[in-house]
């Protein structure tokens, strides 16, 4: 049997993390509710809340009547305790936004990307320029910025180097974005895949709220998923888990952007839908200046065009089959469908998508899952990215870190050891 060792310091940090996460994600809450919602004793809750209030990370937010007793004071994380920055590195633009702790957006900077494929040094420059610009715009002190979250398309290795593998950006071999950004700023940099950060935002503030097991299924030009199991993001060994779009729907089927054949993305991704329509429509494409307007036009013509109707009915079926596979694999409480194309399809045909998922999933797990649409909209990637430094703050129990600290360095020296059986 392995002896379990914990230091007083670790214990205090983990208790603070539990309590602060509850207050942030489910607050405002009273001390009484915090005791009921955590395994902490009333005395511990009281002591830790007093610390949070003294540090200014938590503030009082009114009170509620209690049965016969004194009114109970409600607590929330103070919106102005600190600020966070979120960056969405997209295929066509870099968007940088600054938020307070309540995730109210206070400043925004946008940089269109002129040259394709995207050049790594130009990307770093846009991100760093954007950070300076939003700090100046919001008029906040750099010392009050808790960190910067940066979301990329593709597979993001969240290790020290922060390698980003993005075939669509021409970065197939991996670019050390984490290291390059850290070389240009003293602020703590956190990077991740855009679908995963959007998934975290939906879990915290959107349609995933209140669940522990969910899959955020995103359909845009590309198709991906963020899998949340037991409240934590499922990443796999090197962070690429959730590439739902590249699971095989049709063996030997249509060629996908990834080079394989028959991927789900080649059928339900925006490009796949538009290609299938053009082929069925004797080479005539759906009208629109870009993919988004073409998909909109195609959906609008579903009533009048037999070809459009056929393609979209099949798309709904394919999407339902893909969702059925997610239900069978992960047994989620909730599937949250989003991404701009997913929203467009789901707004019109959610009942049909549910029915198609039912046909392709096992009965029991299907009956345990609800299928909803994303609530934050497809433009919430920068907001999602900004949840990365907040997640670090919560995990760290609100104990602020020096710039550039790594998770391994968070614990610090072990000053005193307690040995438990
Ligand atoms: Zn593929």
| Radius of gyration of the CA atoms of the chain, in A | 23
Helix (H, G, I), strand (E, B) or coil at 365: helix
Q: Give me ligand 1 centre to Cα 265, in Å.
A: 6
Cross-strand pairs, 255: 261
User: Which regions of the chain are under pLDDT 70?
Assistant: 1-6, 400-421
Measure the CA–CA gap between 225 and 372, rounded to whole angstroms.
14
Q: Provide the strand spans (E) within 169-213.
A: 171-176, 189-193
Q: Give me ligand 1 centre to Cα 53, in Å.
A: 50
Q: Give me ligand 1 centre to Cα 243, in Å.
A: 9
In degrees to the nearest 10, what's the CA dihedral of 168, 171, 174, 176? Answer: -110
pTM of the model as a whole: 0.85
Q: Give me ligand 1 centre to Cα 259, in Å.
A: 6
Alpha helices, H only, 361-399: 363-367, 381-395
Q: What is the largest CA-CA distance in the chain?
A: 75
Q: Give me ligand 1 centre to Cα 400, in Å.
A: 41
Question: Closest Cα partner for 87 from 215, 204, 212, 189?
Answer: 189
Q: Give me ligand 1 centre to Cα 255, in Å.
A: 8
- Count CA atoms closer than 13 A to 350's CA, side-chain side: 13
Beta carbons of 343 and 382 less than 8 angstroms apart:
no
pLDDT at position 6: 66
Measure the CA–CA gap between 22 and 31, rounded to whole angstroms.
11
Q: Give me ligand 1 centre to Cα 364, in Å.
A: 29
Beta carbons of 86 and 138 less than 8 angstroms apart:
no
Q: Give me ligand 1 centre to Cα 260, in Å.
A: 5
* Residue 277, token pair as written in the block: 């329509």
Q: What is the pLDDT of residues 34-90, one digit of tens each?
A: 999 999 999 999 999 999 999 999 999 988 887 777 889 999 999 999 999 999 998
Q: Give me ligand 1 centre to Cα 245, in Å.
A: 6
Beta carbons of 320 and 366 less than 8 angstroms apart:
no
Measure the CA–CA gap between 195 and 181, rounded to whole angstroms.
20
* Residue 132, token pair as written in the block: 């300076």
Q: Give me ligand 1 centre to Cα 257, in Å.
A: 6
Sheet of 334-338: strand order equals: 232-233, 223-229, 214-219, 334-338, 370-373
Q: What is the pLDDT of residues 306-342, one digit of tens each?
A: 999 999 999 999 999 999 999 999 999 999 999 999 9
Q: Give me ligand 1 centre to Cα 266, in Å.
A: 7
Burial class (CB in 10 A: 0-12, 13-18, 19+), 3: exposed
Q: Give me ligand 1 centre to Cα 262, in Å.
A: 7
Measure the CA–CA gap between 87 and 349, rounded to whole angstroms.
32
Q: Give me ligand 1 centre to Cα 261, in Å.
A: 7
Q: Give me ligand 1 centre to Cα 254, in Å.
A: 9
**b (16+ CB within 10 A) / e for 120-141:** beebbebbbebbebbbeebebe
What residues does the ion ligand 1 have nearby, CB within 5 Å?
A: 246, 256, 258, 260, 263
pLDDT at position 300: 95
Q: Give me ligand 1 centre to Cα 166, in Å.
A: 13
């Amino acid at each position: 049997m392995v002896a379990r060792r914990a230091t007083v310091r670790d214990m205090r940090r983990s208790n603070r993390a539990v309590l602060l996460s509850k207050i942030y994600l489910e607050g405002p809450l009273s001390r009484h509710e915090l005791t009921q919602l955590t395994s902490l004793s009333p005395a511990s809750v009281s002591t830790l809340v007093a610390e949070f209030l003294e540090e200014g990370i938590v503030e009082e937010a009114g009170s509620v009547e209690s049965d016969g007793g004194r009114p109970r004071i409600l607590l929330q994380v103070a919106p102005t305790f600190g600020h966070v920055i979120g960056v969405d590195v997209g295929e066509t633009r870099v968007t940088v936004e600054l938020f307070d702790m309540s995730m109210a957006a206070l400043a925004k900077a946008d940089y269109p990307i002129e040259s394709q494929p995207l050049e790594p040094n130009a990307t770093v420059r846009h991100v760093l320029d954007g950070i300076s610009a939003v700090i100046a715009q919001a008029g906040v002190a750099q010392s009050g910025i808790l960190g910067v979250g940066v979301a990329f398309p593709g597979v993001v290795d969240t290790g020290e180097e922060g390698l980003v593998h993005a075939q669509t950006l021409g970065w197939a071999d991996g670019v050390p974005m984490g290291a390059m950004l850290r070389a240009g700023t003293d602020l703590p940099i956190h990077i991740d895949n855009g679908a995963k950060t959007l998934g975290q935002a939906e879990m915290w503030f959107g349609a995933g709220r209140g669940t522990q097991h969910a899959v955020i299924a995103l359909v845009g030009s590309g198709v991906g998923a963020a899998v949340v199991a037991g409240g934590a993001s499922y990443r796999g060994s090197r962070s690429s888990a959730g590439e739902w779009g590249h699971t095989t729907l049709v063996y030997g089927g249509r060629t996908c952007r990834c080079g394989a054949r028959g991927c789900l993305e080649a059928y339900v991704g925006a490009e796949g839908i538009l290609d299938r329509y053009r082929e069925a429509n004797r080479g005539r494409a759906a009208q629109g200046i870009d993919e988004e307007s073409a998909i909109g036009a195609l959906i609008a013509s579903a009533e009048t065009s037999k070809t459009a109707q056929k393609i979209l009915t099949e798309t709904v079926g394919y999407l339902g089959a893909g969702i059925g596979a997610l239900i069978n694999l992960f047994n989620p409480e909730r599937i949250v469908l989003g991404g701009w194309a997913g929203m467009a399809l789901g707004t019109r045909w959610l009942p049909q998508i549910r029915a198609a998922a039912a046909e392709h999933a096992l009965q029991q797990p299907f009956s345990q899952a609800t299928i909803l649409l994303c609530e934050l909209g497809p433009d919430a990637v920068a907001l999602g990215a900004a949840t990365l430094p907040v997640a670090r703050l919560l995990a760290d129990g609100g104990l602020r870190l020096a710039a550039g600290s790594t998770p391994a360095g968070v614990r610090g020296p072990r000053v005193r050891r307690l040995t438990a059986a």
